[in-house]
Amino acid sequence: MGTHYITRKGYERLHEQLAELRAEQPLVRDRIAVARELGDLSENAEYHAAREEMTMLMYKIDSLEAKINSCRIVEEEEIDISSVRFFTKVTLMDLKQKKEKVFKLVSAEDMDIASGRISIQSPLAKGLIGKKVGEKTKITVPAGELEFEILKIEKYFDQQD
């Protein structure tokens, strides 16, 4: 897993999620113990379901711990808005539709197309990275070719809409 750039607030949210998952562990262990008391384990559906639940829970915990360990917290003052990049909000003029559009470049986990939050790994974001105010660009995406002019670049840090 590569480096995962994240805000301090996002990092704290990951730790909260991890705490919630860990709080589930004793409950699942109890379900396993109760199911074990029901008798023959080879034909005990409750026992097997509880064991599978524990396996999935442990997988989620391990995955989240790995993600947390790969995080690099980005402080607001580190964000450079001289060009489009991660943690920026960019206002564009769609040159074909003659409409303003606003996109926020975020991690894949924080992506929400309906809110204008696009993954830094998306074709659109990749085409915008490094562009400056006043620049025009053509970007090829699965739906075709888009043409934009960069109107404004701002910090998009707290990731609250």
pLDDT per residue as tens digits for the range 91-132: 999 999 999 999 999 887 788 889 899 999 999 999 999 999
For residue 34, report the phi and psi dihedrals to the nearest 5 degrees: -65, -45
85 and 67 both lie in a single domain: no
User: Does 161 reside within a domain?
Assistant: no
87 and 62 both lie in a single domain: no
136 and 86 both lie in a single domain: yes
Query: Looking at residue 90, which CATH number applies to its domain?
Result: 3.10.50.30
> Is residue 156 classed exposed, middle or buried when 0-12, 13-18 and 19+ CB atoms within 10 A define those classes?
buried
Any idea which residue has 């995962």 for tokens?
A: 4
Structural domain including 27 reads 4-73
Residue where one domain finishes, among candidates 18, 42, 73: 73
101 and 139 both lie in a single domain: yes
The answer on pLDDT for 160 being more than 60 is: no
Determine which of 14-23, 33-42, 110-119 has the lowest per-residue pLDDT on average: 33-42
Can you tell me the distance from the alpha carbon of 48 to that of 2, in angstroms, rounded to the nearest whole number? 35
The b/e string for 113-133 (b: 16+ C-beta within 10 A; e otherwise) is eeeebbbbebebbebbeebee
In which band, very low, low, confident or very high, does the pLDDT at 151 lie, cut at 50, 70 and 90? very high
Residue where one domain finishes, among candidates 41, 73, 105: 73
Q: How many H helices and E strands in the chain?
A: 3, 7
Q: Provide the number of structural domains found in the chain.
A: 2
| Structural tokens at position 40 | 């023959």
84 and 137 both lie in a single domain: yes
The answer on pLDDT for 26 being more than 80 is: yes
Residue where one domain finishes, among candidates 38, 73, 108: 73
DSSP label of 112? B
User: Does 65 reside within a domain?
Assistant: yes
The answer on pLDDT for 61 being more than 90 is: yes
**pTM of the predicted model as reported, rounded to 2 decimal places:** 0.70
Query: Looking at residue 24, which CATH number applies to its domain?
Result: 1.10.287.180
